[in-house]
Structure 1
Amino acid sequence: METTVAGLAGEAGDDDLVAAVRVALVAAADPAKAPGMQAYMKSRMPFLGVPKPARERALRPVFTARTLPDPDRWTATVLALWRRAEYREERYAAIDLTGHRAYRTYQRSTTLALYEEMVTTGAWWDYVDEIASRRIGPLLAADPAVVRPEMLAWSRDSDLWRRRTSIICQLSFKAATDLDLLYACIDANLADRDFFIRKAIGWALRQYAWTDPGEVRRFVAARGDALSPLSRREALKNITPQ
């Protein structure tokens, strides 16, 4: 896939918007909450102390007041927030900006390069899970001919977080889930002993079980001991035993 992020090295982000985001986050912060938030997330990057509801309230008028004019400026601004972040909430704000309703038409298969950087450099579940299921998933649904082969490649990648993304990107698909893709991504990772991969496998199967519990039961039985106990337990959690 053409990597559009690399091509934006000379594109300037909207520094005024970046500054306004930082001001809003500082104003909404409760410093007393920051140490606990950092400890819970096991984060080397410090927190300001802005829980998600307060962050959303603080950023809503900031994003509404200043609309970015084109996909390149939007991407560059997202990357400016992401790459220059001093506090974790600034990276959360970058993810929020990618999902703002004003930029729905900017969500194209070429945007995958932006999300790939965020997945691989963020490299932790709080970033990756939202990007995977709420950003990359819709790209897959909109343009499977381009994004599906990428997810198959990611499922075999050396990077843990690309692989997790490939497994959980269809969490919201329900009956539209591409089972061949899901199972291929799972099968590529059955031998992985990492907690985040095993949890992702179980989570993806558990989510699809709301749509077709019989199929999930069949898949779990078919994979037998190749499926880790954690993945099996998660997959069958909401399925009534027969």
Structure 2
Amino acid sequence: MDKYRSLRKLFEAHSNPERAIAMSKYMKDQFHFYGIAAADRKNLYKVFLKSEKATKTVDWAFLEQCYGDEHREFQYLAYDYLLAMKKFVHFEHIPQIKLFIMTRSWWDTVDFLSQVVGNIAMMDSRVDELMLTWSLEENIWIKRVAILYQLRFKSKTNPTQLEQIILNCLGTNEFFINKAIGWMLREYSKVHPEWVRQFLADHQEKLAKLSIREASKYL
């Protein structure tokens, strides 16, 4: 039995129908769930990820199977897999990651994948130029990743890059874009509050009220 089918049987054996209904409702009934709590889910495949990490090779065919499954737990598994294998995920793999971003898209998996892209950016400066391009794309989830990929960079955040990306994304009523802008600015305000305060002052008329409200939380 291949790894995907083995994990599917494992998920099925630990499913919780009642919790699955609640989890699906939380996600606007867009996805099916097995109903496995996050901690329990990660524990189920802990040994599997350890064995995969030992191979030092990303199994992209397996990840495609995870994204092809209708149960959301498999997309969460794909993220945890990519995080475990981050040393072996490189710039050349971003086209495949982009496909995952645009597959079964919603904030939960997209925000996970923005961290995967961010991990690559920490090792390869070519990602920065690519994110500028992504910030100009029509797909809101691709734009959201461009905004958020530096979310965990703290003092290593490139403010010039951040400013240009946000400016490329202004002028929309899209909630997930405006929320992401505010979230990113809020996180950066923890290390450079004066920069964020000045950015808000300079672009107040163009920024959505949601973005300003989120960005100003710690100011």
- Is the structural similarity TM-score above 0.5? yes
Aligned residues: 219
Which residues of 2 match residues 38-187 of structure 1 at below 5 A? 38-65=24-51, 69=55, 71=57, 74-83=59-68, 85-100=69-84, 103-132=85-114, 134-144=115-125, 146-187=126-167
**Greater than 6 Å deviation, 4+ residue runs:** none
Partners of 1:213 and 1:167 lie apart in 2 by 18
Paired residue type of 1:197: I
CA distance change for structure 1 residues 176 and 65 in 2, over 3 Å: closer, same or farther?
A: closer
Quote the Cα distance in structure 1 between the aligned partners of 2:214 and 2:52: 43
Structure 1 residues 66, 178: closer, same or farther in 2, change over 3 A? closer
CA contact (8 A) 2:134 2:146 kept: yes
Aligned counterpart, 2:197: 217
TM-score, structure 2 as length reference: 0.94
- Give, as a single letter, the amino acid of the residue that structure 2 aligns with 1:76: A
Q: Does the 8 Å CA contact 2:86/2:119 hold for their aligned counterparts?
A: no
CA RMSD of aligned residues (A): 1.6
CA distance 1:62–1:24, change in 2 (3 Å): farther
State the Cα deviation string for residues 122-152 of structure 1 (Å, max 9, x = none): 32101000110x20011112101x2111100
CA shift for structure 1 position 66:
5.1
SS at match of 2:70: coil
Distance (Å, rounded) in 2 between the aligned partners of 1:36 and 1:169: 30
Check whether the contact 1:155–1:185 (CA below 8 A) recurs between aligned residues: yes
Cα offset, 1:23, TM superposition: 1.9
In structure 2, the gaps of 5 or more residues are none
Identity percentage over the alignment?
Answer: 30
In structure 1, what is the Cα distance between the partners aligned to 2:51 and 2:167?
46
Distance in structure 2 (CA, Å) of the matches to 1:50 and 1:160: 29
**SS in structure 1 opposite 2:203?**
helix
Flag the structure with more relative contact order, 1 or 2, with Cα contacts below 8 A and sequence separation at least 6: 1
Contact 1:68/1:74 (<8 A) preserved: no
Deviation string, structure 1 residues 192-215 (Cα, Å, up to 9, x no partner): 110000000000000000001111
Unaligned runs of 5+ in 1: 1-14
Query: 2:210: which partner in 1?
Result: 230
Distance 2:52 2:180 in 1: 37
CA contact (8 A) 2:24 2:32 kept: yes
Match of 2:15 in 1: 29
